Structures are given as C-alpha cells and as structure tokens.
Structure 1
Amino acid sequence: MRYTINARLIYDATDGTLTLANSDAPGSQLSITASALLCFFLHNTSIVSRDEVLQKVWDDNGLTSSNSNLNQYLSMLRKTFRHYGIDNIIISVSRGHLQLNPDVHIQMPAPAPAPALEIPPQPTPAPEHAITEAIDTPQTHGLCWYLAGTGMLIIALLLVLLSMVSGSTLLPVALTPIHHSQCELLASDVMLHSVSETTYVKNFDAVLQRLNLKCKPGERFIFDYLDRLETNGLGRVFMAHCAMNENNPFSYCNNYFYYSWKP
C-alpha cells in the first residue's frame, strides 16, 4: 500500500521505502519498527497518547515497549523526513500526547471499487388459483418430482464434467537460492518478484538476529513475507530453519511465524 506525502514523496508500507515522486529508485528505507510506527500514525491521525502508541506498535506485536524506544524511533522518523524537507512529521502535544503533523498532506490509497451486484429479474407470480390447482392435483405432484429429479441429475453431471475439465495439477513452490555471506538461504519466486534481493536479505538478517539464530553447516533457511498484512504496518512473515541430510534436504524444520517467534 502506497501513500503520497505532500504530493512529492511516496511511502510504500509493504517494504518501508521512501521514494521521491520524480524518481524510480527508493531514496531510503525505514526499519520494520519505524515503518510500523509511521503506519500507526497514518491510520490514526488524531491526537493519541504515548501509552496507546506503545500498546499498538510494541506490546500487541510481542515487542518490549519503553518510552526510550518510542523516543528513539520518533527521532529517527523526524530526521528521515527532514531530509525530504518535511519538518516534524510527528509532533508532540501537551500532557504526553502525539499526533501526525496536521500540516502534512497525506494522500491515502484509493479503495478498490466494490463489484456491482446484479439483481436477477423477479418472475411474474402465477395467479393464485393456478397455484392452488397445481398443489391439489396428484398428477402435478408426480410431474414436479420427476422434473426436480431430472434437474438434479443434470446438475450433478455438469459438476462432474466441470471438475474433469477444469481440474489442474498442484505445482510445488519454486525456491531460488539467495546469495548470503553466511547462511544457505532460499526464497520463493513469488517473493522475489515483489521485493528486491537486497531488501530481502536485510529483513532476513533482522529476523535472524531477533530470533538469536546462527548459520551452521548442514542447515538452511526459507524466508518469506507471505501475505504481509499491514496491521500496525508490521507484515506477517514466515521462516523455516531446516536440517539437511543426503536423503531429504528438509528432514527437520523449525517454523517461525509473525512476531510471537515461537517454533
């Protein structure tokens, strides 16, 4: 999801990059926590308390919150945006409250239009006396059951034919080796189409440090952003830490999800 700030700076919430509107390459990239903090204020433009910010950005995502951490990342955001000519992207309000600077113009992404609903034409109701006759006539009962059974049989046959025609073979996920100085690292081709390899390795190193994991011979990692939901700006991630042997390259794996970091 992209936000246009002051009509000249584009912030991409999926990878935390900041790009000038007239440039093709990002000028800088926010850390995961700094990006989460900025996203919180983009979605909460009114005055908020510091406790609410700490709860939503840190505590709710399993991170250790403190006023010193908040001050550090506020300073980081202000310094980064000052580089682009935007002073005090987040301002301090009296009594320990904060707010996205009201003088900063944020253009939110346009929501996708909802599909139009097609209302089928309503059939003209039959005269009341005709309905009464159909219900009261035994021959009509038999004809109705015959037509209903025939219709169900035709529908079942169509469903079988449709499943045979449209059935497709499930394909395995394609994994590509990524150059890393210490780890054997694999990424899905879908992942590499949505993010640069440099950003991918940088985020992998951050997660590896967060989990306090080390690279060892005979082990490999699979790292993926998956759907990258933007709750508080923190994307949902997946990492598998796998042992290898000659018969199975993924014989045993510890899997880590989101920010709970529990295998």
Structure 2
Amino acid sequence: MKYKINGFLYYDATDATLSINDEGTSDTQLSITANALLYFLLQQPGVITRDEIMEKVWDDNGLTSSNGNLNQYLSLLRKSFRHYQIDNFIITVSRGRLEINKDITVEVVDDNHMHPLFICEEEERVTPEEPAEKPNKTTYSEQTDAQEQRWMIGSAILFVAALALLWTAIISERSINIVQLNPVSAEICELFSNEKIINAEMGESYLNSFNAVREKLGISCNKERRFVFYYSDKFQNKGLGRTFMAQCAKNENNPYAYCDNYFYYSWK
C-alpha cells in the first residue's frame, strides 16, 4: 500500500518509509510500531478512540499497550511529518480521540481498490438498477452461453495472475535479507545487537551506552527478558544519534514472544 500526502510526500506501508523525489536524500525509515500505527490511522476515515488504536496496533499483535507508548509514537509520527513541513498531521479532538487532519490530502497511489477510500467512492456511484425482465427460453439459452464464455475468460485471467504471483514470490524470496542478532552480553541483561561487535572496546561501549539508555528509561533487567539495542553514532560526538531499544519477553518456545520498542532520532 502506497500513499501520496499533500501531493509531494510518499508513504510506503510495505517498506515503512516516508520519502520525496530527491533520490533518497530525505527518506525517513519508520520503526515497526510507528509504521503499524500510521498505516492503521490512514485506514480509518474519521475520528477514532485511543482504546481502539491500542487494541488494534498493540494488543492484537501481542504487544503491551499503554497511553505512554501511544503518546510516544504519536509524537514520533508528528515529528517525522514536521520534518517535511507538514504540521498537525494527527490531531486530537474531544475526549482525547484522534483523527488525521482533514486539511491534509491523502491519496492512494498503488491502485489497490480494496482500500476503504475506494470502497466509499464505489458505494457513492452505485445507483439502483431496474429489475430485469423474466427471460424466455430463447433469451435464457443465449445468457447461459455468454456466462460460460465469461467464466472461461475469468478462469484464464485468474490462472495467469496466479502464475505472476508465484513468480513474484520466488523472486522476493531470493531477495530477502535475514537480520542476524549478535550477542553483546549474556549476564542478567541479555543484550543483542544487529551489528557485529568487532573488538572489546566496541563491546564495552555498546554495553555502557545500553545501560545509560535503559536506566534513564527506568527499565530493569531480569532473566525473563531479552534486549536488542542499536545506536548510530559510535564515537558519540553528539550523543548516541539514532537510538533503538527493544525489551522482549521470552519463553521456552519463543525468545521474542512480545516486545516493547523505543526509538529516538537523536539521543543526547
């Protein structure tokens, strides 16, 4: 699903990106939770309650919902849109409910006619049809032949479409990149990173930076949790830069049963 916002900003729900036509210079990569929240809001025409948002985005996906988490990701999305000079993209209405600003134009640009925007337009264009006359025997025979031809054409189209989807799936499967998580610490705080720890200095810096972020957020360690941590400014010239941390509950079947994610554009 791909959207065009205010005629110049593109949101790709599949890639979780906000972009303009500048060869990727100003692209913004959204986190998994922020992408799920934005996609859900765009699918809901009109006002929606906070409880419904938390249920659909967090609870239904096995995550722990809270007003704090919702406020954090709403703030993150608003900040992302302000980066493109779009203010008040998500507004709060009476009783704390939320909606997309009606002054902002949102277009679906990938021709997916199952989207609610297209469904509403189709319903408005539908007019009542006059009841068909009861066909006689000759007319009934002609309609049956025409219907059979339509079924044959439709079946052929579906078969070609299925082959195209199969070919697309094969190509996509070959291009999937699996992210490998590397252990940083195996103590009480079981810590992993998507980057390879190349030496002891990097490992110590990673652990110290992780503990600083964790303690500031008031998150404690225990044997039932795993943590994933990343920060972009390895030399910490101006803080940690883009920072991501996930605390995940684990069980005997799944080491990442569910996770709470924290993302910051510039951690000082």
Q: State the structure with bigger RCO (CA 8 A, min sep 6), 1 or 2.
A: 1
TM-score, length of structure 2 as denominator length: 0.45
Higher Cα Rg: structure 1 or 2? 1
